Amino acid sequence: MKKILIFVFCVSISGYGICQTWRPTSADIGFKIKMLGVTVEGKFKGLSATIHFDPNGPASNSIVASVDAATIDTDNSLRNRHLREKEDFFEVSKYPKILLKSTKIVKTASGYMGYFEVTIKSITKEVKMPFTFSETNNKATFVGNVNINRRDWAIGGNTLGMSNDVAIYVIVNTIQQ
When the pLDDT of each residue in the chain is averaged and rounded to a whole number, the result is 91
User: CA 114, CA 108: separation in Å to the nearest integer?
Assistant: 10
- Is 5 contained in some domain? no
Q: Give the residue numbers spanning the domain of 97.
A: 16-176
Residue 8 scores a pLDDT above 70: no
pLDDT tens per residue across span 89-124: 999 999 999 999 999 999 999 999 999 999 999 999
Give the chain's length.
177
The stretch 12-38 carries a mean pLDDT of 83
Q: What is the CATH number of the domain that holds 78?
A: 2.40.128.110
pTM: 0.87
Residue 39 counted as domain residue? yes
What is the three-state SS of 130-165? EEEEEEECCEEEEEEEEEEEHHHHCCCCCCCCEEEE
- Kindly tell me if the per-residue pLDDT of 76 is higher than 70: yes
- What does the pLDDT look like over 123-155, one tens digit per residue? 999 999 999 999 999 999 999 999 999 999 999
The count of domains in the chain is 1
The answer as to whether 142 is a domain residue is yes
Q: Residue 104: inside a domain, yes or no?
A: yes
* Residue 72 domain flag: yes
- pLDDT at position 19: 78
Q: How confident is the model at residue 57 (pLDDT cuts 50, 70, 90)?
A: confident
